[in-house]
Amino acid sequence: MHSTPRTLGIAAALLFCAAVASAQNISSLGSQLTTLDGKPTTVAQIGQGKVTVISFWATWCGPCKKEMKAMQEVYNRLGKDFVYIAVSIDDMKSTAKVKPYIDSKGYTFTVLLDPNQSLFQTLNGTNPPYTLVFAADGTLHSKHEGYLDGDELKLEEELKTLITAPGGAAH
């Protein structure tokens, strides 16, 4: 069989769709990231079986900082009913700023480092903040791009629905 540019384009599109489809479940998120203490882990390990919010952010992103502050309040209100993972996409030059920033704010949620933006790219990340919500069964429930004051309240309602849903799936 002779490959034409059209055939190759179709094959590339199918591979892209397969990669996106596989990212629709938290169990597929096995990219090795590190904690602020330098320990290797994955989002799949942390979020498996739990309602999970993954928010990509950077120290240079003002809206990201506002979202994290607001999400800490949501995290405090909902207790440990969901997992909130803030994934820094700061590059190697600015990664050193992440831990001091998190410590200075007293944030208690999980923070991971993705300096090569491998997970961010796998999930077709746009501009930060880029937030994904997964149901307890691991399925992708929603995506949120950007942050405006009050977005955390909508997200909190979404989380309450997922937390109380049978099996973690939305009604």
pTM for the full model?
0.83
- pLDDT at site 19: 40
CATH code for the part of the protein at 5-168: 3.40.30.10
Contacts of 4 (CB under 8 A, 6+ apart): none
DSSP string computed for 110-140: EEEE-TT-HHHHHTT--SSSEEEEE-TTSBE
Residue indicated by tokens 């739990």: 50
Domain locations in the chain as residue ranges:
5-168
Tell me what pLDDT residue 168 has.
Answer: 56
Positions of the chain with pLDDT under 50 = 1, 3, 5, 7-22, 169-171
Q: What torsion, rounded to 10 degrees, do the Cα atoms 80, 82, 85, 86 define?
A: -90
pLDDT in the model for residue 126: 87
According to the model, what pLDDT value does residue 169 have? 39
Q: Which amino acid is at 55?
A: S
